Amino acid sequence: MSHSGHYVPVGSVPYTLSPGTAEDLGEVRKLVHETTSWLRKSKHIDQWSGPWPDAAQHRERMRSDLLRGKTWLVRDDATVVGTITVDTEEPRTADGRRVWPACERHELAMYVRRVIVSRGYAHRGIGAALLDWAAAAAGRDHGATRIRIDVWTTNRALHAYFEHRGFTRCPSPDPDLNNYPSQALFERQIEQAGEGYAKLFVQADSPGPHPPHWRRIDRVHRRGAHRIPGGGAGR
């Protein structure tokens, strides 16, 4: 069963989805800071209240993801309005331990993190479309059967958001990961993704540091879209 939304065309100028570069680090950090402030002031949620595991490593992880072609940006003309990071490598703690339990590692998966949409662009289906796009890319480009995300442990509204989008809660990480901030694990089969994202973005053909090949599609708003209450992980 697909969990895609209903997309209604409202214009002819699409958003663009393209790989970020190291020069976009400031834009990604701006989205993180905006969401952190919103979560703290409006939702009283501690997600990203402090950089994990520390400020230097947090910045370097974001920069590395950009350099390695893992982080993608959504733009409205020249304005960055959203981001997602996709990764074939499993998430690990600061000291290198795997986050997902051993019983879950037999399935080929792609991991997503830092799914963020600017507050000024909430309720337009961008977050849901990014998840559907990631699922399509996981199967098409990597042969994965599912996408996974480790969600901030205390952000229960975000847990509900992913469940609404067809994600299933998975077993908790090993108990010795006490200091890891994103221990709510969710996954979704790629077959559950919708294709509505293709109506929302002008996109490159595949994730990774490859020259993008563009195709034109219409911008839409998703009727009844749900706001993402914060990004997908603390990393």
**Cα distance between residue 21 and residue 47, in whole Å:** 25
Share of the chain above pLDDT 90, in %: 46
What the block records as the tokens of 75 is: 């733009």
Asked whether residue 104 carries a pLDDT value surpassing 90, the answer given is no
Quote the pLDDT of residue 135. 95
Rounded to the nearest 5°, which phi and psi values hold at 72? -115, 150
Beta strands in the chain (DSSP E): 6-9, 15-19, 71-76, 79-87, 109-117, 146-151, 168-169, 184-189, 201-203, 220-223
Asked whether residue 227 carries a pLDDT value surpassing 70, the answer given is no
CA atoms within 13 A on the CB side of 23: 1
Contact 172, 146 (CB under 8 A): no
**Which DSSP category does 104 fall into?**
G
What average pLDDT does the segment 189-206 reach? 78
Residue 63, H or E segment? helix 55-67
For the segment 207-218, what is each residue's pLDDT rounded down to a tens digit? Answer: 444 333 323 333
Asked whether residue 201 carries a pLDDT value surpassing 70, the answer given is yes
For the segment 10-51, what is each residue's pLDDT rounded down to a tens digit? Answer: 454 579 999 999 999 999 999 999 988 877 766 656 666 666
Provide the 3-class DSSP secondary structure of residue 199: helix
Provide the 3-class DSSP secondary structure of residue 68: coil
Asked whether residue 115 carries a pLDDT value surpassing 60, the answer given is yes
Nearest 5°: the CA angle 35, 43, 2 is 75
What average pLDDT does the segment 53-68 reach? 88
Buried b (16+ CB within 10 A) or exposed e, 44-55: ebebbeebbbee
**Cα distance between residue 171 and residue 88, in whole Å:** 20
Say whether the peptide bond before residue 53 is cis (omega within 30 degrees of 0): yes
The residue that leads in pLDDT, 154 or 163, is 163
207: number of Cβ within 10 Å: 26
Q: For residue 97, name the pLDDT band (cuts at 50, 70, 90).
A: confident
Strand partners, 112: 86
Mean pLDDT of the chain: 79
What average pLDDT does the segment 100-127 reach? 90
